[in-house]
Amino acid sequence: MEQDVLDLAIIGSGPGGYRAAVLAALRGLKVAIIEKNTWGGTCLNRGCVPKKAWYHSACIMADAAAYPERGISGTLSADFAQAWRHQRLIVDTVRDSYADYLGRLGIRRLSGHARFEGPRSLRVDDTRVEARQIIIATGSQPWLPEPLQRIPGRILTTDDLFDAPPPQGRRVAVLGSGFVGTEMAFILSRLGLDVVWLTGREPLSSSAFSIPARTALREALAGAGITPRLQARIAAAGVSDDGVTLTLGDGDRLQVDWVLAGTGRRPCTDGLDLGRAGITTGALGHIVVDDYNRAAPGIHAIGDVTNPGMSANHALADATVAVSDILDPGGFSRRDELVPQVLYSALEMARVGLNEDEAEAQGLEPAAGFTSLDLNPAALAAGERGGFLRLIADLDSGRMLGAELAGRGAGELISLLGLEFGTPQALSRLAAAAYNHPARAEEILNAVETLAARWGMAEQVFPARAAGAGRE
């Protein structure tokens, strides 16, 4: 079966592929999107969307201890099996909306395994697809270190946990010190499971979150009764009818009902026949791209398959860069530091831009404007503790370099701050903005004022005021 030549063919229907298809179709391109598994990819079906449903429920359970002082009486209990069914309803609703929108934009949906036959030619099962441009958005798959292997109902990845009803048994070992492990240790513990959290190192130690942020997170987790067992390397895993026996590197043994491994992911490139299109991959299997996400002439790669950041946020940003480059080559390049990173755990945390170490490595002189949310009226009203906002600015130029937030709504507020990066007037614009009261967003102004007062940056933050003073 042959089809006419498309303007753009996209392999993969996750957040990156979906965003690229929509952006291209809205600009008038003839687009097809190809998916061999579940439409919507990992994020929609077994990642950020269902996880957010669980996180909301986990936060309700975490807040329940303080309900009596608010005049709310009664007892709450968590039912993880029902929580699993609830997230499936949300996923199905979002997927139906997703498919409907693609149809209304005239985007073709092709189900099947795609592989390259040439630079601008694909074979999707028995169908040949010709396209002037191709975007690879095939995502990633879970990776398990030795000696672990996936065993249904016993040793699971997050893909497995969201794909099928949860196993029997309440005692679960959560593995991993990264975002996934840190999030799932909190979420599962609040949803009624007895969590043993095993990590090789301090949670998020390999991330760009600052030491103050990681310290605040550790305190919030400890306050929720969640403490990771550090340096806990798995030497062996034995599965029986009674559960899983984990033998650690120090010889200690743990018995659990099942294991959830959040130990990383690897790019999905198997069976694509990338060599036929002149595409190369790196040491970990990521497709090699340039600053515009170009993998080869006429071919872009986006999201987990090429971006080590491996988040839906990076995939969405990559999609914008790739489609822009197709329509206006060289229009704007990929800047991973401007993509927000958000953690949903005992303390919601978000960051964007550079941290102090990264700024110093670039020869800049960073200063931090810090404000605590402990006395913020909106945070107090919600019973929150431990939240804060940090703005990083360059002392010499006054340019805003980065931002870090902790507390409920951090993932929403970080997008507001991210809009200002790249503008020389970022701090002055934030200082001049009007803010709702009471709201956590007011702390943005307080952090900017701190930079002006503590670090002598008043001229950069309030240029009009400084100019007026000079005229007197």
pLDDT tens sequence across 101-111? 999 999 999 99
Write the CA distances from 318 to 15, 111, 142, 177, 239, integer angstroms: 10, 23, 21, 26, 41
- Find, among 68, 347, 319, 333, the residue nearest to 217 by Cα: 347
d(CA 138, CA 337): 22
Residue 457 has pLDDT above 50, yes or no: yes
- Domain 348-463 CATH assignment equals 3.30.390.30: yes
Instruction: Give 200's DSSP letter.
Output: S
For domain 155-263, the CATH superfamily is FAD/NAD(P)-binding domain (3.50.50.60)
pLDDT at residue 15, as a whole number: 97
Kindly report the average pLDDT of the chain as a whole number: 94
The mean pLDDT of 86-103, rounded to a whole number, is 97
d(CA 314, CA 340): 8
Residue 330 has pLDDT above 70, yes or no: yes
Instruction: Provide the whole-model pTM.
Output: 0.94
Give the model confidence (pLDDT) of 284-296 as tens digits.
Answer: 899 999 999 999 9
Give the model confidence (pLDDT) of 192-235 as tens digits.
Answer: 999 999 999 999 999 999 999 999 999 999 999 999 999 999 99
DSSP 135-197: EE---EEE---TT---BTTTEEEHHHHHHSPPPS-SEEEEE-SSHHHHHHHHHHHHTT-EEEE
pLDDT at residue 3, as a whole number: 59
Residue 386: both structure tokens together: 């431990």
Pairing of strands 171-175, 194-198: parallel
d(CA 200, CA 231): 4
The mean pLDDT of 443-459, rounded to a whole number, is 91
Give the model confidence (pLDDT) of 25-51 as tens digits.
Answer: 999 999 999 999 999 999 999 999 999
d(CA 34, CA 40): 11
Give the model confidence (pLDDT) of 223-245 as tens digits.
Answer: 999 999 999 999 999 999 999 99
Least confident of 84-98, 252-266, 328-342, 453-467: 453-467
Residue 469 has pLDDT above 60, yes or no: no
Q: At CA 172, angle to CA 234 and CA 183, rounded to 5? A: 90
d(CA 204, CA 186): 14
Spatial contact of 178 and 204, defined as CB atoms under 8 Å apart? yes
d(CA 306, CA 328): 21
DSSP 262-329: ---EEE--TTS-GGGGT--B-TTSPBP--TT-EEETTEEE-GGGT-TT-SHHHHHHHHHHHHHHHHST
Spatial contact of 338 and 358, defined as CB atoms under 8 Å apart? no
Residue 142 has pLDDT above 60, yes or no: yes
Q: What percent of the chain has pLDDT over 70?
A: 97
Q: Residues spanned by CATH 3.50.50.60 within the chain?
A: 6-141+266-337, 155-263
Please list the helix, strand and coil fractions of the chain in percent, rounded to the nearest 5, in that order. Answer: 35, 25, 40
d(CA 309, CA 316): 12
pLDDT at residue 397, as a whole number: 87
Q: Residues spanned by CATH 3.30.390.30 within the chain?
A: 348-463
Residue 472 has pLDDT above 50, yes or no: no
The mean pLDDT of 146-160, rounded to a whole number, is 96
pLDDT at residue 463, as a whole number: 73
Taking the CB of residue 401, how many other CB atoms lie within 10 A of it? 24
The mean pLDDT of 92-103, rounded to a whole number, is 96
pLDDT at residue 229, as a whole number: 97
pLDDT at residue 31, as a whole number: 98
- Find, among 128, 153, 357, the residue nearest to 259 by Cα: 153
For domain 6-141+266-337, the CATH superfamily is FAD/NAD(P)-binding domain (3.50.50.60)
Residue 133 has pLDDT above 70, yes or no: yes
Q: Which amino acid is at 245?
A: T
- Whether residue 147 is preceded by a cis peptide bond, meaning omega within 30 degrees of 0, is yes
